[in-house]
Structures are given as C-alpha cells and as structure tokens.
C-alpha cells in the first residue's frame, strides 16, 4: 500500500477510536462560519471525524480502493495535495450552502467524504473506460458513467433531501478536484509546447493547401489505431496491477501509466 494512503487510513481510524472514547468530534467538526463555534482549523480536522462505523468504513474502503491507484500514478506529494484541497474545498462549498440557506446553519459537518469523492472523480477522469462492479448493479459499468451517475444523484439529493448527509460537500470535493486536474493538465500541455528554435525558424517552402480525402482518411485511421493501441496497453497494465500490485510493473509500464493520467 502506498505510504500516503496508508497514513491517511491510520490517521482516520485513530481519530475515530479516540472520538469513540472521548467524544471529541464536537470540537473538531466543521461549523458554519457565521456562528461562534466556527474555527478555521475545522476545515482540516472535520475530515478526520466520522459519525459511526459505517461512515468511516465506506469512506476508508473507497480511499483504499481508488486512492492507492491514484497515488501510484501521481506520486505521494501530488496525491496528498489533491486530497487535502478536495477536502478543504468540500468544506467551503458546504459553508456556502449554509450561507445560501440550503443547509441549516446550526448543523455540523464531519467526514472524509468530500475528499473521497474528489478521488472518485480523479479515477474516473484518469481511467474513464475502466469497468467497475458496483453493488447492486449486476453488470460492470465504465468509470466515467459511474461518476456521472453519482454527480446526478448528489445534485438531486442535495436539492431535495433532508437526510443529514452533506451532499453539497460531496459535490464541492468533486468540483475542486475537477478544477485542480484541469489546471494540472493545462500546465502539462503548456510545458510540452516547443518554444525553441523551431518556433522561430522560417519554413523552407510554402506548405501545400491541398489535402486529399485519402490523406485525411489515412491520418484519421492512423490516429485511431494509435489511440486503440494505447488504450489496450493501459488496460493490460491495469490488469497487471490488479493481479500483482503496482510493484510488479516495469519502469516503462509505470511511466506509461503516469503519462496516461496526464491526458
């Protein structure tokens, strides 16, 4: 298990056990900033508080299931940054929902769900065609559709339900995760632009403006062939990770997986 995910799991479990004995969650939960109970540190500490065993179990299971893959792809430093930004962003969106009157300003928010939902989004964007088996759905579903369904459910529940679940925090974690991933991808594309001598070199001759239908067809065919081969290679590497773990990959396979996450 990669170190950051392992440390987060331990920290959450230890905090849950301490809270079970000493009932510290009222001190470290997140409160509305318009009340006297709000403290800035709560935007971080609320992520490590959980209401009951089922709450922490499902959050930690999702963190272990999807987080370890994303840490292996991104590396520990980037993964931890992403996790914390998603969690803090989820808390900020929850605060905005309370300020708008959509959520009771007297309710407190606890749980790592916002950060975990950000990880779900990251997995879906990195491996959109990876098939997942989700109970009780009796057939595999692609990660990208799984994420879309979850977003739709959270929006509907957030606008209509009063079940005590922080639906806006879930959406907030996914929103901040989306912004951060798009920022990283745009920065990676900018770094790949060649501003060297080829940028200033004049062309040797004027390019031809005539492109035949066959030329376009050939280019499209070659592009689609390369894309299919790349996707097949990613699927093969993911199968190898599931069977033998991340350490079973060669250096070239690890690099291929890392490059795929940046597209």
Using left for φ > 0, alpha for ψ between -120 and 50, and beta otherwise, residue 41 falls in alpha
Tell me 34's DSSP state: T
- Compute how many other C-beta atoms are within 10 angstroms of the C-beta atom of residue 37: 15
Continuous H helices in 23-105: 25-28, 42-45, 53-62, 68-74, 76-99
Q: Is the sign of the CA dihedral 1, 82, 144, 174 positive or negative?
A: positive
As a whole number, mean pLDDT of residues 213-237 equals 66
Quick one: which of 98, 103, 82 has its CA closest to 8?
A: 82
pLDDT at 134: 73
- Does 216 have pLDDT greater than 90? no
User: Residue ranges per domain, the chain?
Assistant: 3-186, 213-263
Encoding tokens for residue 110? Answer: 């606890």
pLDDT band at 209 (very low <50, low <70, confident <90, very high): very low
Task: Please tell me the predicted confidence (pLDDT) of residue 208.
Answer: 45
The dotted CATH code for 3-186 is 1.20.1540.10
pLDDT of residue 102: 81
Please tell me the pTM assigned to this model.
Answer: 0.72
> What is the SS3 assignment for 30?
strand
DSSP letters, 85-147, are HHHHHHHHHHHHHHHTTSS-TT--B--SHHHHHHHHHHHHHHSTT-EE--TT-SS-EEHHHHH
Decide if 162 contacts 80 (C-beta within 8 A): no
Whether the per-residue pLDDT at 185 is higher than 70: the answer is yes
240-261 pLDDT, tens digit per residue, is: 776 666 667 787 777 777 776 6
For residues 86 and 25, the answer to whether their CB atoms sit within 8 Å is: no
In percent, how much of the chain has pLDDT > 90? 45
144 vs 195, residue with greater confidence: 144
């Amino acid at each position: 298990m990669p170190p950051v995910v392992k440390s987060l799991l331990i920290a959450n479990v230890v905090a849950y056990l301490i809270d079970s004995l000493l009932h510290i969650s009222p001190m470290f939960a997140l409160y509305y900033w318009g009340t006297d109970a709000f403290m800035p540190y709560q935007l971080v500490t609320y992520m490590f508080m959980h209401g009951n065993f089922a709450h922490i179990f499902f959050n930690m299971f999702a963190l272990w299931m999807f987080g370890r893959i994303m840490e292996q792809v991104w590396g520990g430093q980037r993964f931890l940054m992403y996790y914390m930004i998603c969690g803090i962003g989820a808390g900020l969106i929850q605060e905005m929902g309370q300020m708008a009157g959509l959520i009771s300003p007297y309710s407190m928010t606890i749980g790592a769900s916002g950060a975990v939902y950000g990880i779900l989004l990251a997995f879906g964007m990195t491996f959109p065609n990876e098939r997942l088996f989700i109970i009780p759905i009796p057939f595999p579903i692609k990660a990208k559709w799984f994420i879309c369904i979850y977003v739709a459910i959270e929006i509907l529940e957030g606008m209509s339900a009063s079940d005590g679940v922080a639906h806006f925090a879930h959406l907030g974690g996914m929103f901040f995760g989306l912004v951060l991933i798009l920022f990283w991808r745009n920065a990676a594309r900018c770094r790949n632009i060649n501003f060297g001598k080829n940028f200033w070199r004049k062309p040797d001759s004027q390019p031809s403006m005539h492109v035949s239908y066959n030329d376009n067809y050939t280019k499209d065919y070659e592009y689609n062939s390369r894309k299919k081969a790349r996707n097949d290679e990613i699927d093969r590497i993911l199968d190898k990770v599931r069977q033998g773990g991340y350490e079973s990959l060669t250096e070239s396979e690890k690099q291929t997986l890392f490059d795929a996450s940046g597209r």
